[in-house]
Structure 1
Amino acid sequence: MRRSTPLACGAAAVLALAGCGGGSTRVSSTGSASTASSSTGASSTEPTETATTQTTTTHVVVRHAPKPPPPPAYPQLLPIAAASHPTPFVPVVTWKGAPVAWISRSPSGVTMMAFKQPDMQLHLHSGTVDAGTAGWRYGPQIAGLEMKRLVAAFNGGFRLNVGAGGFESFGRVAVALSDGLGSIVTYSDGRTDIGSWHHEVPAPGRTVTSVRQNLPLLIDHGSPASSLGCLTCWGATLGGVSDPARSALGIQGNGHLVWVGAEHATVGDIASALLSAGVVRAVELDINPEWVAGYLYGHRGGAGPVAPVAVIPGQNGIPGQYLVPWSRDFFTVTAS
C-alpha cells in the first residue's frame, strides 16, 4: 500500500544584423571632412592625402551565429533533481528542448513530480507477485525500447489480494475492476485520466489499454474526500501510525499528471500537497516505507545504462529496484 503534484528547458540564439550606408565623405589634406556626391549620385569615400584621387571600397563581413545543436534524442535530466530542500515546482526534465517534467518539495517533506501530457506517457507494469510475471505487455522490470525514453518510475497501489481495486492491462485482467473506485486509466492514444470507474472514466468511445484501481478517490472535483480523518480507510500502516510513507497520483485541470510521495505523511498531508499543485482528481497509491519509491533517470549522454535518482529524501529501496524484476506493480513515465 502507498501514497503521497506539478514542472523544463531550451535555449534559442538570436542574431541582430545591422546594415551600413549613407553619403560619401571627402577628406582634405588638412584632415577636415566634407560631404560630397558624384555626378551619378553614387557615394564614395575619397582620401586626398596625395594629389591622386582614389576610391576605397569597404567590405562588410557578416558572421552568422552557429546554429544551436539539436536537442538530445533522450530525455535530459536537470541538476535540480538531486536537491532535497523545499522548493516550488521547477523544471527537472526536458524533451526536444522543452520542459516536460517538474519537481517540487513542500516544507512538510512531500515530494511532487508533475508530467506534461501528451509529451509524457504513463505505463502500468506488473510485478513478479502482483500481478505476476508472464503474459503482460509491461512486465516486472523496465526494459527494451522503454529504456531509451525513460523519464521516471514510481510505485503502484496496494496488494491486489486486499480488495482495494482491480488491475487490467491490454485486455488481460488480474483482478476485476470495481464500480465507483478511484481508477488510473490509460487510453490507446497514450493519454491517462483519473476518475471514478463507470462515473468519470472511461471516456465514451475511447479504447482503454490499462486500469489500476486503489480505494475511492482521494480528491474529486478539486475537493478532498470526506473520510480523510478515518485512518483505517486509507490502508493499514506499520505500527498503526498515522504518518507512514505514503504516495498518490493525481491529475490537474490541464491534464498534467502529478505524483506525490513522502517518508512520513498523513492522508491530509498528501491531499494538501495535491491540492496545492492544482490537482482535481487523485488516487492514493501504496503506503509504508518498503513500497513507496520514486525515481528520475539520467541518460548519461545517451550512452550506457540509465542513472536512477531517488526523489524522496531518505526513501527505502535500491535505486535500481525497477530496473531489475520487482515484486509489486509500478508505473513508468516515458517521453512520447
Structure 2
Amino acid sequence: MERRTLLTGIAAIGAATLVGCGGDDEKPSPTRTPSTTPTSPPTSGVPARVDPRIASTVATGLNVPWDIVFLENGDALVSQRDEGSIVRITTAGKVSKVGDVDGASGVAGGEGGLLGLALAPDDESTLFAFVTTGSDDRVVRLTLDGSTIRDQEPILTDIAIGSRHHGGRLLFDREGNLFVSTGDAGDGDLAQDRDSLNGKVLRITRDGKAAPGNPFGNRTWSYGHRNIEGLAYDADGRLWATEFGQDSADELNLIERGGNYGWPGVEGRSDDRDLVNPKVTWGTDECSPAGVAIARSTAFVAALQGECLFAVRLDGEKVGKPKAYFGGDHGRIRTVVAAPDGALWVATSNTDGRGDLRDGDDRIFRVTL
C-alpha cells in the first residue's frame, strides 16, 4: 500500500521529560528547545502522576493524520488532511483505505483539508467529518457500508475560509448533539459576531441545525475564539479546548456556555470580567496546541511547534503546571486521543509542509500512562 507500512515491535522509547516545549499557528518548528511559562500554579490532591511512555508504533507512512476515532471492536478511523481520505487501522495493525471525502481541498503548507471526525455514538455506520472545500468549510455526514463510504451529505456549509484558521475539531455531547470548532478564517471580527459561524464553538444537531438549549438561539455555544483545533471532555463532563494565539499566548480553555473568550481584542488573560480567561497559557513560540485528550485527570496537549506532548494535571476546574514529554524526538505532534484500552494514540504532523521529515512519517504512536 502506497507509503503505508506498519511496525508491530515495541519501541521501548523512554518518556524524556523536559521543562517545556513550543508556538503560534502552524509555523515551522524552531531548532532550539523552548521552555514554557504557564500562568497557572500546580494543584494538590489530584490522582497519582502519569508516566507517559511510547510503547509501540501503530502505523507509519500516513499523510497528515488529523483525527482518530475508534470503533467498538478497537479499529480506528483516521482522517488524512491533504489527501482528503480516511483510512482504517485494525487492531492487528493493518491499514486500508476507506474512501475519499468529496471536495476536500488540502494543500501542503496550508491548514485546511479533511480535518476532524466524529462517530455517531449509537450508530457506527454514521460518521461526521469537517472538510475544507474550494469555497467553504463544512460538516459532512458520511454513511459507511462496512469499510467503504457509501453516501456523503453536507449538513452545515458556508463556514468562511481563508488561508488559515479553520478550526475543525468535532465532538459529540452527552445529549447526542455535535460540537464543532471553527477558526476566524483570518478575520478576527467574525469571532465577536455571535451570528457568524466563524471563531466559535458551535453546537448543532445531526442535521446541522442549532441544538436545543444553545445560549443565543442559533448555532453558537461560545465565541471570541481565534482557532481551536482541540476539544475534549473531562470525567465530570466539562468541555476543554486548545486555542492558537497570535503574538503572546496559546491557550488551554475551559469552555462555558455563552462564554466570550475575547479574540480579537484580547489574547491570553484579561481583567475584563465579561470575558473568560484561559486556564493555561504558553508563549506563542512555545506550543501551537492542536489536539487534546483527557485521561486519568490529565489533559494531554499535542504541540506542533513545541514538538512535544504536554501533560496538564486537572483537579476540577483547577490546573497544574504543564510538563512536556518526547520533546523534539519525533517532530510536530498534531493529534492525541484516548484509546479504548486506556492508552493514548499520538500522531505526528511532519508531512504537512512545515516540519522536518523523518523516515516513516507521518506516524501514530501508542503511549501508555
TM-score computed with the length of structure 1 as normaliser: 0.32
TM (norm. structure 2) is 0.30
Q: Name whichever structure is richer in strand by fraction.
A: 2
